[in-house]
Protein backbone atom coordinates (compact mmCIF):
# COMPACT_ATOMS: atom_id res chain seq x y z
CA UNK A 1 0.00 0.00 0.00
CA UNK A 2 1.37 3.43 -0.99
CA UNK A 3 0.91 6.01 1.76
CA UNK A 4 1.48 9.76 1.92
CA UNK A 5 2.04 11.34 5.36
CA UNK A 6 1.41 15.01 6.16
CA UNK A 7 2.64 15.77 9.68
CA UNK A 8 4.77 18.66 10.99
CA UNK A 9 5.91 16.85 14.15
CA UNK A 10 9.15 15.20 13.04
CA UNK A 11 9.07 12.56 15.78
CA UNK A 12 5.54 11.45 14.95
CA UNK A 13 6.17 11.64 11.21
CA UNK A 14 9.26 9.45 11.36
CA UNK A 15 7.55 7.11 13.77
CA UNK A 16 4.76 6.60 11.26
CA UNK A 17 7.29 6.00 8.48
CA UNK A 18 8.99 3.29 10.57
CA UNK A 19 5.71 1.71 11.66
CA UNK A 20 4.26 1.55 8.15
CA UNK A 21 7.53 0.43 6.57
CA UNK A 22 7.76 -2.35 9.13
CA UNK A 23 4.32 -3.55 8.02
CA UNK A 24 5.47 -3.76 4.40
CA UNK A 25 3.85 -0.52 3.20
CA UNK A 26 5.54 2.10 1.03
CA UNK A 27 5.59 5.69 2.25
CA UNK A 28 5.62 7.39 -1.14
CA UNK A 29 5.98 10.94 0.24
CA UNK A 30 6.03 13.00 3.43
CA UNK A 31 5.17 16.69 3.74
CA UNK A 32 5.48 19.07 6.68
CA UNK A 33 3.14 21.93 5.76
CA UNK A 34 -0.20 22.68 4.19
CA UNK A 35 1.22 24.44 1.12
CA UNK A 36 3.01 21.30 -0.07
CA UNK A 37 0.20 18.88 0.73
CA UNK A 38 -2.22 19.37 -2.16
CA UNK A 39 0.49 19.27 -4.88
CA UNK A 40 1.93 16.12 -3.26
CA UNK A 41 -1.47 14.41 -3.15
CA UNK A 42 -2.18 15.21 -6.79
CA UNK A 43 1.31 14.14 -7.88
CA UNK A 44 1.62 10.88 -5.97
CA UNK A 45 -2.04 9.83 -5.78
CA UNK A 46 -1.40 7.50 -2.85
CA UNK A 47 -3.56 4.54 -1.88
CA UNK A 48 -4.26 6.43 1.34
CA UNK A 49 -3.10 9.69 2.94
CA UNK A 50 -2.48 10.23 6.66
CA UNK A 51 -2.96 13.94 7.35
CA UNK A 52 -2.74 16.17 10.41
CA UNK A 53 -5.61 18.68 10.54
CA UNK A 54 -3.40 21.56 11.65
CA UNK A 55 -0.23 22.18 9.66
CA UNK A 56 2.15 25.12 9.15
CA UNK A 57 2.15 27.92 8.35
CA UNK A 58 -1.02 28.85 10.24
CA UNK A 59 -1.62 25.72 12.35
CA UNK A 60 -5.39 26.11 11.83
CA UNK A 61 -7.02 23.92 9.21
CA UNK A 62 -4.39 23.79 6.47
CA UNK A 63 -4.32 19.99 6.38
CA UNK A 64 -8.08 19.67 6.23
CA UNK A 65 -8.50 22.30 3.51
CA UNK A 66 -5.90 20.57 1.34
CA UNK A 67 -7.64 17.22 1.85
CA UNK A 68 -11.08 18.63 1.01
CA UNK A 69 -9.73 20.17 -2.20
CA UNK A 70 -7.85 16.98 -3.09
CA UNK A 71 -11.04 14.94 -2.69
CA UNK A 72 -12.85 17.37 -4.99
CA UNK A 73 -10.30 16.58 -7.69
CA UNK A 74 -9.77 12.94 -6.69
CA UNK A 75 -13.13 11.89 -5.17
CA UNK A 76 -12.00 8.34 -4.36
CA UNK A 77 -8.81 9.41 -2.54
CA UNK A 78 -8.85 7.67 0.88
CA UNK A 79 -7.83 9.96 3.74
CA UNK A 80 -7.18 9.27 7.40
CA UNK A 81 -7.16 12.56 9.33
CA UNK A 82 -5.37 12.93 12.65
CA UNK A 83 -6.21 15.56 15.23
CA UNK A 84 -5.12 16.37 18.77
CA UNK A 85 -8.69 17.09 19.82
CA UNK A 86 -12.22 16.39 18.65
CA UNK A 87 -13.03 19.26 16.31
CA UNK A 88 -16.61 18.74 15.21
CA UNK A 89 -16.58 21.41 12.53
CA UNK A 90 -13.62 19.71 10.86
CA UNK A 91 -15.22 16.27 11.08
CA UNK A 92 -18.45 17.59 9.58
CA UNK A 93 -16.64 19.32 6.70
CA UNK A 94 -14.59 16.22 5.96
CA UNK A 95 -17.77 14.14 5.71
CA UNK A 96 -19.72 16.74 3.76
CA UNK A 97 -19.19 15.21 0.31
CA UNK A 98 -18.75 11.50 1.01
CA UNK A 99 -17.88 9.31 3.96
CA UNK A 100 -16.35 6.61 1.74
CA UNK A 101 -12.65 6.19 2.39
CA UNK A 102 -12.60 8.65 5.29
CA UNK A 103 -11.19 8.29 8.79
CA UNK A 104 -10.86 10.70 11.70
CA UNK A 105 -8.70 9.60 14.61
CA UNK A 106 -7.33 11.34 17.67
CA UNK A 107 -3.55 11.35 17.73
CA UNK A 108 -3.29 9.28 20.87
CA UNK A 109 -4.88 6.46 18.86
CA UNK A 110 -1.69 6.31 16.76
CA UNK A 111 0.13 5.02 19.83
CA UNK A 112 -2.06 1.93 19.69
CA UNK A 113 -0.38 0.52 16.61
CA UNK A 114 -2.78 -2.33 15.94
CA UNK A 115 -5.87 -0.10 16.13
CA UNK A 116 -4.23 2.51 13.92
CA UNK A 117 -3.19 -0.02 11.26
CA UNK A 118 -6.66 -1.58 11.22
CA UNK A 119 -8.27 1.84 10.81
CA UNK A 120 -5.83 2.74 8.03
CA UNK A 121 -6.64 -0.47 6.14
CA UNK A 122 -10.40 0.11 6.46
CA UNK A 123 -10.04 3.61 5.04
CA UNK A 124 -7.77 2.43 2.21
CA UNK A 125 -10.41 -0.18 1.34
CA UNK A 126 -13.04 2.55 0.99
CA UNK A 127 -14.56 2.11 4.43
CA UNK A 128 -14.84 4.43 7.41
CA UNK A 129 -12.85 4.70 10.64
CA UNK A 130 -14.15 7.26 13.10
CA UNK A 131 -12.62 7.67 16.53
CA UNK A 132 -15.12 6.62 19.24
CA UNK A 133 -14.80 10.06 20.86
CA UNK A 134 -15.60 11.78 17.56
CA UNK A 135 -18.67 9.60 17.11
CA UNK A 136 -19.74 10.29 20.69
CA UNK A 137 -19.56 14.05 20.23
CA UNK A 138 -21.32 13.97 16.87
CA UNK A 139 -24.11 11.96 18.43
CA UNK A 140 -24.27 14.24 21.46
CA UNK A 141 -24.70 17.19 19.14
CA UNK A 142 -27.86 15.58 17.81
CA UNK A 143 -29.11 14.27 21.13
CA UNK A 144 -32.06 16.64 21.30
CA UNK A 145 -33.17 16.21 17.70
CA UNK A 146 -35.47 13.63 16.16
CA UNK A 147 -35.21 10.91 15.09
CA UNK A 148 -31.87 10.08 16.76
CA UNK A 149 -33.39 10.80 20.15
CA UNK A 150 -35.83 7.95 19.52
CA UNK A 151 -33.05 5.36 19.61
CA UNK A 152 -32.71 3.18 22.68
CA UNK A 153 -29.43 3.19 24.65
CA UNK A 154 -28.51 -0.17 23.10
CA UNK A 155 -29.28 1.09 19.60
CA UNK A 156 -27.04 4.10 20.24
CA UNK A 157 -24.22 1.75 21.26
CA UNK A 158 -24.68 -0.27 18.08
CA UNK A 159 -24.83 2.91 15.98
CA UNK A 160 -21.60 4.22 17.49
CA UNK A 161 -19.77 0.96 16.81
CA UNK A 162 -21.11 0.89 13.25
CA UNK A 163 -19.76 4.40 12.72
CA UNK A 164 -16.35 3.25 13.95
CA UNK A 165 -16.37 0.70 11.13
CA UNK A 166 -17.04 -2.41 13.24
CA UNK A 167 -18.70 -5.39 11.57
CA UNK A 168 -21.70 -7.19 13.05
CA UNK A 169 -19.66 -9.99 14.57
CA UNK A 170 -17.33 -7.59 16.36
CA UNK A 171 -20.26 -5.50 17.60
CA UNK A 172 -21.82 -8.65 19.06
CA UNK A 173 -18.57 -9.53 20.85
CA UNK A 174 -18.06 -6.03 22.24
CA UNK A 175 -21.62 -5.75 23.53
CA UNK A 176 -21.84 -9.40 24.68
CA UNK A 177 -24.95 -10.10 22.62
CA UNK A 178 -25.72 -12.44 19.73
CA UNK A 179 -25.15 -11.46 16.12
CA UNK A 180 -28.85 -11.92 15.42
CA UNK A 181 -29.57 -9.32 18.10
CA UNK A 182 -27.13 -6.95 16.39
CA UNK A 183 -28.96 -7.47 13.08
CA UNK A 184 -32.26 -6.68 14.80
CA UNK A 185 -30.89 -3.51 16.39
CA UNK A 186 -29.49 -2.36 13.04
CA UNK A 187 -32.84 -2.92 11.39
CA UNK A 188 -34.52 -0.86 14.11
CA UNK A 189 -31.93 1.92 13.74
CA UNK A 190 -32.52 2.30 10.02
CA UNK A 191 -36.27 2.17 10.45
CA UNK A 192 -36.14 4.97 13.02
CA UNK A 193 -33.75 7.01 10.88
CA UNK A 194 -36.07 6.64 7.92
CA UNK A 195 -33.46 4.81 5.83
CA UNK A 196 -33.83 1.55 3.94
CA UNK A 197 -31.70 -1.18 5.49
CA UNK A 198 -28.82 -1.75 3.04
CA UNK A 199 -27.21 -5.12 2.46
CA UNK A 200 -23.60 -3.99 2.55
CA UNK A 201 -21.92 -3.37 5.91
CA UNK A 202 -19.93 -0.52 4.39
CA UNK A 203 -23.08 1.10 3.01
CA UNK A 204 -24.67 0.87 6.46
CA UNK A 205 -21.80 2.80 7.97
CA UNK A 206 -21.88 5.40 5.21
CA UNK A 207 -25.60 5.91 5.61
CA UNK A 208 -25.26 6.38 9.38
CA UNK A 209 -22.44 8.87 8.95
CA UNK A 210 -24.37 10.70 6.26
CA UNK A 211 -27.14 11.16 8.79
CA UNK A 212 -24.79 12.28 11.55
CA UNK A 213 -22.96 14.80 9.39
CA UNK A 214 -26.28 16.46 8.48
CA UNK A 215 -26.46 17.84 12.03
Instruction: Find all residues with CB under 8 Å of 153, minimum gap 6, and list them.
Output: none
What distance in Å separates the CA atoms of residue 164 and residue 174, rounded to the nearest whole number?
13
Count the Cβ atoms, other than its own, within 10 Å of residue 49: 32
User: With left for phi above 0 and alpha for psi between -120 and 50, is residue 165 left, alpha or beta?
Assistant: left
> Can you tell me the distance from the alpha carbon of 35 to that of 63, in angstroms, rounded to the nearest whole number?
9
Q: For residue 13, give the H/E element and its range.
A: helix 10-22
Per the CB < 8 A criterion, the answer to whether 61 and 14 are in contact is: no
Cα–Cα distance for residue pair 36/59, rounded to 1 Å: 14
The DSSP element (H or E) to which 102 belongs, if any, is: strand 102-106
Supply the pLDDT for residue 72: 86
| 111-125 pLDDT per residue, tens | 788 889 999 999 999
80-to-41, 114, 132 alpha-carbon distances in Å: 13, 15, 14
For position 195, what pLDDT does the model report?
Answer: 66
Which domains, from first to last, does the chain contain? 2-130 (3.40.50.2300), 136-213 (3.40.50.2300)
User: Is residue 162 within 8 Å of residue 186, measured between CB atoms?
Assistant: yes
Q: Tell me how far apart the alpha carbons of residues 202 and 19 are, in angstroms, rounded to a whole number.
A: 27
Distance CA 47, CA 77 (A): 7
pLDDT, one tens digit for every residue, the chain (215 residues): 999 999 999 999 999 999 999 999 999 999 999 999 999 999 999 999 999 988 998 888 888 888 888 988 988 899 999 988 777 676 667 776 666 788 888 888 777 888 899 999 999 998 888 888 777 776 665 545 555 677 888 988 888 888 777 889 999 999 999 999 999 998 888 777 766 555 555 556 555 665 565 54
Query: pLDDT value at position 82?
Result: 92
CB atoms within 10 A of CB 48: 22
Helical packing angle, 62-73 and 34-44, nearest 10°:
30
Instruction: Quote the pLDDT of residue 25.
Output: 97
The Cα 138–Cα 18 span in angstroms is 33
- CB atoms closer than 10 angstroms to residue 98: 14
The overall longest dimension of the chain from CA atoms, in Å, is 51
Residue 42: the pLDDT is 93
Amino acid sequence: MRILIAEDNALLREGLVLLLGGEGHEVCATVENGDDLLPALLEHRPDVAVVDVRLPPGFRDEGLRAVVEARRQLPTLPVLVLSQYVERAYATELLARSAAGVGYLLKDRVGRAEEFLQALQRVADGGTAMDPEVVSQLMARRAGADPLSSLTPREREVLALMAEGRNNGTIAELLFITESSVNKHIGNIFTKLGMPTPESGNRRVLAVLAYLRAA
